[in-house]
Each structure stands twice: as structure tokens, then as C-alpha cells.
Structure 1
Amino acid sequence: MTPLDTLQVFNALHDSPNTRLEHSAQLGDGMVAALWNNQDDARDYQAPSHHTLSCYIDGGTGTFRRERPSAKGGPDKLCILPAGHDSNWVINGKIRLVHLYITQAQFALECVRLLDREPRELQLQENTFLDDPQQARRFRQLIALDWDEPAERLLTSSLAHELVSHALLSQVGLRQGVRLKGGLAPHQRRQLADFIEQHLDQPISLGELATLCNLSEYHFARMFRTSFGLPPHQYLLARRLAKARQLLRFSDLPMLQVALLCGFASASHFSNRFRQALGATPGEYRQALRS
């Protein structure tokens, strides 16, 4: 789970005497949701280490960025605040808004999975007061759920994945002027990603992956992390859990079979890993998505 004290945008709001946190929820997979009320305030965000997707729910017509005073917010307006950005905000009147915080590791994983590109090549495009009815509708569905109820929190997690995927497909561009040094060649990265997907049900060792690239384990691990944004064992676990979520949602396979198909030695090991990542057991996840 992502510690809240590592989320700079969350803490910048939480530290304001004018802000009230309605709800927050750890959604697993490097994502956290928070629903806020704010009034007559000024907040600065300085180079956060995480990405933030924001949607205004109510109010916001008096909210603007200090450097762009003519552009004002409003209900269903979206803001995209990439990691490393700087922004200064003025809030006149009342505003209710929802934030989705995403770690850079999760962003990197989605870049590889959805876009087949190295995370270093890509950047989430900063955007202020964007109109995207589909995303706004997802945010409103998200806040309509009871995040304190475990089953509905799992539905929130599913919606969060949809929000992040949509943002990557529509709001990610190439970094300008970046010359990549180190890391794996594109054909090696694709070969590894394909190999891992095809062998999720089997034991995969670091040495086996390194051999595919004709590298020592030490150099391979370093180059893999450079190209994929996270270490080999974390990437492999993330892909196994992603496959497990798909099987739990769209099949009636017994838990042991799901575990084995996703490379876990036992149902108990699978359950423990799943709960650590999502805060719920596989059975609770399946029941939540089908209720």
C-alpha cells in the first residue's frame, strides 16, 4: 500500500485549515483516492513524486492557477498534474473535488502494458480544466461508492484502473529531447514482456530472464529496472496479480486453479499476496465485482 505521507499533493491539501477530507481510500496497485472540500484557500504543489488526476464535483468556478487567472474551473472539469510539476492555486468560494494519486511505478507498469513503450520515453501531459465527459462520469461513479465498505472499495479500485488507463491512452506524449542511455533494446523489452505473459503460470527465475538477453543477472536486473520502471520481481508479481484479477472477474475457476494459473504455489500464498496488494482476499474481490 502507498503511505499517505509520501503523497505531497494529499499532504498539501490536508495541511490547510480551510480543507476538509471527506474520505480517502487505499486502492492497491499504487493508487489512492481522496474526496475533498475546500473554501477560500491558496495551495501550492511543488514537484510531487506522484501523478494526480483531479475532477471537480461541485463549485470551482472561482478556482484558478495563479499564473493563469483567466482560466476558471467548474463542475466536471478535470486536471492532470504529473509528477515533478509545479502549480499554484487560488480557491475563491467553495469547491468539492476528488483526487486519484498514482505512483510512478504504477505509471511505468501501465506504459509498458498499454503502450509498449519505455516509461522514460513518455510523460503524462499536464492539463488544467480539461473537458472529458467519460472520465468525469467515472469519477462521479467512484465517489458514489462507499469506500469504507470493503466490497465497494474494490469496485473503486476497478474504476481507478479504468481512469488511469484512459489517461495514459489520451494524455501521454513523448518526452522531447530525451536521449535514452542504458536499459534494454526495444526488441529485448518486447521479448521479455511477451515471455513473462506466456509463462505467468510457471516459475520464472532472474537467471532465465537474463539469459534471454545474454546478460549477467546483475546487469540484467539494473537494465530491466531502467527500461520497465520497476525491478523484475515486482513487474512479474504485478502481471500475475493482473491476470488473477481478470480470471476472478470473468471466470468461475476455483481459487486454487486461479492461483496455479497465475504462478502461485498455493491458494494461501496467492490469497496473502492478493490481500497485500489490494487489501482484500481474492474471494472478496470476486464477490464485490459480481454483486
Structure 2
Amino acid sequence: MDLIRGRVAVDLLPHLRRAHDHIDRHYRAALDLDQLAAVAGVSKFHFARSFEAAYGETPIRYLTRRRIERAQDLLRVANLTVTEVCMAVGFASLGSFSSRFTRLVGESPTAYRDRWAARGGPHVPGCYLFMRGVLDPSGTAGPKGAI
């Protein structure tokens, strides 16, 4: 399972794909490099190098991009606040969410949502998303006991 000049050994690809798919399914969860490497069944440093060689970005950068893509979907179609979207896609901090969103998308989450809202498309009420289990309302309220 050696890396050869930016290429990944063929027998490692299914392991990397397992971790890639895990990120896609569990992007809302607090994932770290150790967990993802365990899913792939390799050491975290080998995993990080191999994942980047195979997919062109680090596992954490892919996770962040996946979260931002999902946030874009929610900001376009759901009647949710930016904070609710931030928490729903797995960010713990509104500041880090906003700065990463702006860096990747080119505009703030609020500007993005407002631009799409101006087009007049239908919006799914946030309460419906919570009621149907699409979003976890406990994840948008912050830590227990927080005011």
C-alpha cells in the first residue's frame, strides 16, 4: 500500500472510498482524522497522504467542503437562520462557518441566502424539516445549559 509519486496503490482505494463515503453520510458529526483513518483501517498519517493523493484534497478539507455544499442547499430552499444552518451541517462555531463559507463560495451565508430568496423560489419551513427528522433541533440549540 505505498504511494508512488502522487498515485495511490490500487488495494488502498476501497479503504479510502469507505472513509470518503463515511464523510458523505456523517458530515454533520464531529469527525476527526483519527476517526476517518480508523474507518479506512490505516494510520492517520498514511490515510491523510493517501486521501489527498487520491482525491486532490485533505480529508478535513473535503469534510468542510461537503458541509458548505449542504449549507448552500439549506440556505437556498429552507426557511432557516444562518445559525440553524451552521449547526445543522456540523459546524460548532458560527464564526468559523461564516468565514469558511465566504472563502469557498465568495459571499457570506446571509448574502447567499438573501440572493436566492430574492428569486422567489419555494422555501421549506424550518419547523417541517425538524418535524420530519431532516434536522436535529437539539443540534441548533447549542450546548445544554447555555444561554
TM-score (norm 2): 0.68
Q: Taking structure 1 as reference, are residues 266 and 252 closer, same or farther at Cα in structure 2, changes over 3 Å only?
A: same
1:194 aligns with 2:32: no
Distance 2:11 2:34 in 1: 16
Higher strand share: 1
TM-score between the two structures when normalised by the length of structure 1? 0.36
Runs of at least 4 residues off by over 6 Å:
none
> Greater share of helix residues, 1 or 2?
2
1:280 matched to 2:88? The reply is no
* Alpha-carbon contact 2:15-2:41 (below 8 Å) kept: no
The alpha carbon displacement at 1:279 in A equals 2.6
Tell me the residue number matched to 1:224.
51
CA contact (8 A) 1:221 1:232 kept: yes
Q: CA deviation at 1:261?
A: 1.5
CA contact under 8 A between 1:182 and 1:226: conserved in structure 2?
no
Residues 101 and 107, structure 2, Cα contact 8 Å, conserved in 1? yes
Is the contact made by 2:52 and 2:59 (CA closer than 8 Å) also made in structure 1?
A: yes
Larger radius of gyration: 1
Count of aligned pairs between the two proteins: 112
Unaligned runs of 5+ in 2: 1-6, 119-147
- Structure 2 vs 1, CA of residues 214 and 190 (structure 1 numbering), >3 Å: closer, same or farther? closer
Instruction: Say if 1:221 and 1:183 are closer, same or farther in 2 by CA, change over 3 A.
Output: farther
Report which structure shows greater RCO (CA 8 Å, sep ≥6): 2
- What fraction of aligned residue pairs are identical, expressed as a percent? 33
Q: What residue in structure 2 maps to residue 290 of structure 1?
A: 117
Q: Say which SS state the counterpart of residue 263 (structure 1) adopts.
A: coil
CA RMSD of aligned residues (A): 1.8
In structure 1, C-alpha distance between the alignment counterparts of 2:82 and 2:59, rounded to whole Å: 25
Paired residues for 1:1-291 under 5 Å: 181-182=8-9, 185-291=12-118
